[in-house]
């Protein structure tokens, strides 16, 4: 689903800064992969390039057999809208619209009929346990409900891949668990490929594989296997091996 080869990113400026160097990463269709690493290690830079929001300095990114770097502006916008779904730390929902109106936004851009939209909203809301709050406005719901709404919006058009940047960063541990269970469910039931940047080892323990980045380079990767608790422990072990500043471990909630 995703093939990254020899990817490097240099930010120009008074002093050029190499944020990523020679990254090779393949994510299979239906896989759920977490990206972790100390602050400033290049996680968001990597995600932004896969999201086609930013461009690499060298190397290639192939998403679902297509090369977004070769696309023209309009084609790229369409590609992003149809094939990718996004979940952000701050939810990026429109506060004065209802939950339902927020969820259907990607479909209104595609000109889908109201009937079809209603069916799709009902199905996705049921999956994410937010059917009862569809008519509420965003300012009337909790952070956990907001993130589940954002996940619903990210998947309503059945994207090939969901990209999540620190999706549990603003959630307490109960809401984190619930949001991650939903992400896991979408990944398993719809076989949606997922790539999630996170600092939170609890959130990361819901993925199938965690790739660690340090100083813009791949550092290590570990697989979950059957036991989430043991995976969580392994994640903590690699994080402490990785170092970084203490704030990187301060988000750990056991």
Ligand X SMILES: Nc1ncnc2c1ncn2[C@@H]1O[C@H](COP(=O)(O)OP(=O)(O)OP(=O)(O)O)[C@@H](O)[C@H]1O
- Per CB under 6 A, contacts with ligand X among 118-157 are none
Residues in the chain: 254
Q: 100 or 200, CB closer to ligand X? A: 200
Q: Does 39 bind ligand X (CB under 6 A)?
A: yes
Let me know: does 168 contact 191? Beta carbons within 8 Å.
no
Is 250 exposed, middle or buried (CB count within 10 Å of its CB: 0-12, 13-18, 19+)?
exposed
Let me know: does 32 contact 238? Beta carbons within 8 Å.
no
Let me know: does 95 contact 137? Beta carbons within 8 Å.
yes
| From candidates 30, 40, 143, 244, binder to ligand X by CB under 6 A | 40
Least distance CB 11 / ligand X (angstroms):
3
| From candidates 23, 27, 34, 37, binder to ligand X by CB under 6 A | 37
Residue among 60, 67, 85 at smallest CA distance from 8: 60
Q: 88 or 112, CB closer to ligand X? A: 88
Let me know: does 177 contact 253? Beta carbons within 8 Å.
no
Q: Whole-angstrom Cα distance, residue 126 to residue 168?
A: 21
Non-local CB neighbours of 56 within 8 Å, separated by 6+ positions: 7, 8, 9, 20, 49, 69
Token couple for 111 = 């000109």
Q: 35 or 99, CB closer to ligand X? A: 35
x/- track of binding to ligand X for residues 43-82 (CB under 6 A): xxx-------------------------------------
Q: How many residues bind ligand X (CB under 6 A)?
A: 12
Q: 49 or 156, CB closer to ligand X? A: 49
With residue 46 as reference, give the H or E element that holds it: helix 43-50
Q: 131 or 251, CB closer to ligand X? A: 251
Q: Does 169 bind ligand X (CB under 6 A)?
A: no
Least distance CB 213 / ligand X (angstroms):
7
| From candidates 21, 33, 41, 195, binder to ligand X by CB under 6 A | 41
- Per CB under 6 A, contacts with ligand X among 6-35 are 11, 13, 17, 19
| From candidates 42, 56, 85, 159, binder to ligand X by CB under 6 A | 42
Find tokens 């996004």 and name the residue.
Answer: 86
Residues in contact with ligand X by CB under 6 A are 11, 13, 17, 19, 37, 39-45
């Amino acid at each position: 689903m995703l093939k990254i080869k020899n990817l490097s990113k240099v930010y120009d400026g008074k002093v050029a800064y190499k944020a990523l160097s020679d990254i090779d990463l393949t994510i299979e269709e239906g896989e759920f992969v977490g990206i972790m690493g100390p602050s400033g290690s290049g996680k968001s830079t990597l995600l932004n390039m896969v999201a086609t929001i930013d461009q690499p300095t060298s190397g290639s990114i192939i998403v679902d057999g297509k090369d977004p770097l070769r696309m023209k502006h309009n084609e790229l916008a369409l590609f992003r809208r149809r094939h990718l779904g996004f979940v952000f730390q701050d939810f990026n929902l429109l506060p004065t619209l209802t939950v339902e109106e927020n969820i259907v936004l990607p479909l209104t851009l595609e000109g889908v009929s109201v009937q079809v939209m209603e069916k799709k909203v009902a199905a996705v809301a049921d999956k994410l346990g937010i059917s009862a709050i569809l008519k509420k406005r965003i300012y009337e719901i909790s952070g956990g409900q907001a993130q589940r709404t954002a996940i619903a919006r990210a998947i309503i058009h059945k994207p090939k891949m969901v990209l999540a940047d620190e999706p549990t960063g603003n959630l307490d541990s109960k809401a984190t668990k619930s949001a991650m269970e939903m992400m896991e469910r979408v990944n398993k039931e719809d076989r949606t490929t997922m790539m999630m940047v996170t600092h939170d080892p609890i959130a990361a323990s819901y993925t199938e594989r965690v790739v660690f980045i340090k100083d813009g380079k791949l550092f290590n990767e570990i697989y979950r296997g059957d036991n989430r608790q043991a995976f969580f422990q392994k994640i903590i072990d690699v994080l402490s091996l990785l170092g970084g500043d203490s704030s990187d471990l301060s988000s750990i909630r056991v």
